[in-house]
Structure 1
Amino acid sequence: MPRQQQPARPARRRSYDQYCAAARALDSVGDRWTLLIVRELLAGPRRYTDLHADLPGVSTDVLASRLRDMEQGGLAVRRRLPPPAAAAVYELTEHGRGLLPVLTALARWGAPALAERRPTDAVRAHWFALPLLRALDGLTRHGVVEVRLEEGEFHISTGAETSAGQVYGYGPAVQPDACLALTTDVALAIGRGDRTLAEAVRDGVAQVLGDGPLAAELRAGPTAARLTR
């Protein structure tokens, strides 16, 4: 007799089963790759193929599984862009965007480990947005700063109005209010807090382009700008 097929058991939700806020958070984002997917989506909606390209080392099966888990957990949604794009993209929910402070704190904690770049390390320009966000957090002028590194460009939104929205994005800005050109090493030093942006500009290792108020505040530095208001 053919063996009767048993009904599939429903997948059990992975959990630490601990009544602890940290454990509950890790139930949602503790799996490998999840927080790095959040890092990518913090820069805006992305297609599956783009996510896979900017997450070197993740398999297609794991990426698809993590995205499903994020949808089920209310961290991300999948939607279709209107024509002419007509492509499906993933984007963070408000709940998912709430992980920004977690990622910036994690980037600050991990920055000293970037003292030496290994030959096998992949790199993308927008990965340096997280270390720089803390340095630009005190800027009072609302606008967009285009950051230019050897690896490419990304852009950061400044000002209190951006706290609940998208704070950085891929590639050059459409209409930047200021441009910041510096090396990766200088960006990391600023992100670690080893030097301020104003010091980097003064020492000639960072260049601010632009004549508007945001460019002037970048040259002066967030702290100096607050003191002169």
Structure 2
Amino acid sequence: MPRQPHAAPGRSRRSYDQYCAAARALDSVGDRWTLLIARELLAGPRRYTDLHTDLPGVSTDMLASRLKDMERDGIVERRRLPAPAAATVYTLTARGGELLPVLDALAEWGAGELAGPGPTDAVRAHWFALPLRRRLAGLGGTGVVEAYVDEGAFHVRVGERPVTAQHHPEPYGDGPAPEGSDTRLTLSTDTCAALVRGDFTLADAVREGRVRVDGEGEVAELLRTR
């Protein structure tokens, strides 16, 4: 277990006390729930209640504690939305946005474990966004893609350098894209999971009728012609 370091005055945190880049990273994001909070915030600013809803299993005390830690470490910040929303939201800082490739790699590494949801597993449509975005990026096209699965819709932006600082588009998000999309995919959750696992390619899924493609975007055209 990490042990308490001799922290600077006013700063208390657990640390592995190892002069190693990986250990230093885990000092900040290695605690339970931290990276999953980052996964949610990569989709855009979220209210505390939204985060609690989409992180089933986390207690209110644990969520509040993790968010406080992430604020302390410069990963997350709070801001007040202007009227008429007038709500306080959590958002990733520019440093927090740099966790995208970390979560990309974790999702890729864990994709093979999606053999099927267990009886107690929660499922959210946008949890497929990270790995599906990688599959779409492999096509080489650019655009905003909406995906509709059994649990709902999510959108991803592909072919562009994603920026998650304030006032820049997020790499993915829950629900339809606010600005609209140029490609729309309709598929079952089982098909989406199989694509993520690598059981077949997107182009194969389209040819076999497992995925319906609508829209006139570059990604849509690439899927129809592959």
Match of 1:166 among 153, 167, 170: 170
Structure 2 CA distance for aligned equivalents of residues 95 and 19 of structure 1: 20
Name 1:90's counterpart in structure 2: 90
TM-score (norm 2): 0.88
Name 2:188's counterpart in structure 1: 183
Deviations 1:152-194 (A, max 9, x none): 0000112224366511011112411110111122212222222
> Which amino acid is 2:113 matched to?
A
Structure 1 CA distance for aligned equivalents of residues 123 and 85 of structure 2: 28
Structure 1 CA distance for aligned equivalents of residues 160 and 217 of structure 2: 18
- Equivalent positions of 1:115-130 (< 5 A) are 115-130=115-130
- Secondary structure at the aligned position of 1:16 is classed as coil
Q: Which runs of 4+ in 1 moved over 6 A?
A: none
Shift of 1:146: 0.6
Name 2:198's counterpart in structure 1: 193
> For structure 2, which runs of at least 5 residues remain unmatched after alignment?
1-8
> Which amino acid is 2:54 matched to?
D
- More deviation, 189-198/93-102: 189-198
- Secondary structure at the aligned position of 1:115 is classed as coil
Name 1:134's counterpart in structure 2: 134
Q: How many residues align?
A: 213
Q: What percentage of aligned pairs have identical amino acids?
A: 64
TM-score (norm 1): 0.87
Shift of 1:57: 0.8
Name 1:3's counterpart in structure 2: none
Structure 1 CA distance for aligned equivalents of residues 225 and 202 of structure 2: 8
- Secondary structure at the aligned position of 2:79 is classed as strand
CA contact (8 A) 2:143 2:217 kept: no
Name 1:6's counterpart in structure 2: none
- Secondary structure at the aligned position of 1:39 is classed as helix
Structure 1 CA distance for aligned equivalents of residues 124 and 176 of structure 2: 13
> Which amino acid is 2:174 matched to?
Y
- Equivalent positions of 1:1-229 (< 5 A) are 12-162=12-162, 165-174=169-178, 175-220=180-225
> For structure 1, which runs of at least 5 residues remain unmatched after alignment?
1-8, 222-229
Name 2:4's counterpart in structure 1: none
Distance 1:127 1:93, change over 3 A: same
Deviations 1:77-116 (A, max 9, x none): 1000001100000011111111111111111111222213
Structure 2 CA distance for aligned equivalents of residues 219 and 104 of structure 1: 26
Structure 1 CA distance for aligned equivalents of residues 150 and 55 of structure 2: 19
> Which amino acid is 1:166 matched to?
E
- In angstroms, what is the RMSD of aligned CA positions? 1.7
> Which amino acid is 1:172 matched to?
P
Structure 2 CA distance for aligned equivalents of residues 168 and 59 of structure 1: 26
Structure 2 CA distance for aligned equivalents of residues 213 and 137 of structure 1: 12
CA contact (8 A) 1:140 1:160 kept: no
